[in-house]
Structure 1
């Protein structure tokens, strides 16, 4: 399994928009692009952490538009949801993407 973690702080009053857009994007990649699932968390200090799970890195790389998100091959509602997510994030408090391979999982 391969997981990608996204972290960020939201602009004020954007939690509902962010959660709604995350649901659209996560559902699309699970239903149509091979993701195993996705999970969204909020920490006590208002850091939002989302991670997507994929069967392997190759599936994720072939499915995700990378730096060009939202890419033209995505449906319009998914492109709009990605733009919404991007607009909800506070650029002054940006945190880098983290990717990692599972070495041991006792699921």
Structure 2
């Protein structure tokens, strides 16, 4: 398994736009690009960290080729709502002891 950590610094008064765009784009990536999903965490006001899981480095590196055109709307909304978007880390998973969330 492969993990990518992202950082998002959101513009003031754009948090709802960012959250909607992140959720929409992430849902499409899961559906069309074989992602294992992502979690978004709020670090502090207007600063978010996302943790995305992928089956392999290869699948992550090739992601984006199968997304529908609708994904561009979400991508553009994310870019418009953020001051900064960056990849913090790309990590290979060596041990996995997370429990599956049964409540979702």
Question: What TM-score comes out, normalization by structure 1 length?
Answer: 0.80
Alignment equivalent of 1:106, drawn from 74, 97, 100: 97
Gapped runs of 5+ residues in structure 1? Answer: 66-72
After TM superposition, which residue ranges in structure 1, 4 or more long, deviate above 3 angstroms?
A: 94-97
Q: How far apart are the structure 1 equivalents of 2:41 and 2:48?
A: 6
Partner in structure 2 of residue 57 of structure 1? 57
Task: From the two aligned structures, give the one with the greater helix fraction.
Answer: 1
Aligned 1:10-89 pairs, distance under 5 A: 10-64=10-64, 74-89=67-82
Per the alignment, in what secondary structure is the counterpart of residue 40 of structure 2? strand
Q: How far apart are the structure 1 equivalents of 2:15 and 2:45?
A: 14
Q: What is the RMSD of the two structures over their aligned residues, measured on CA atoms?
A: 1.8
Cα shift at 1:3: 1.0
Task: From the two aligned structures, give the one with the greater strand fraction.
Answer: 2
Question: What TM-score comes out, normalization by structure 2 length?
Answer: 0.82
Report how many aligned residue pairs link the two structures.
98
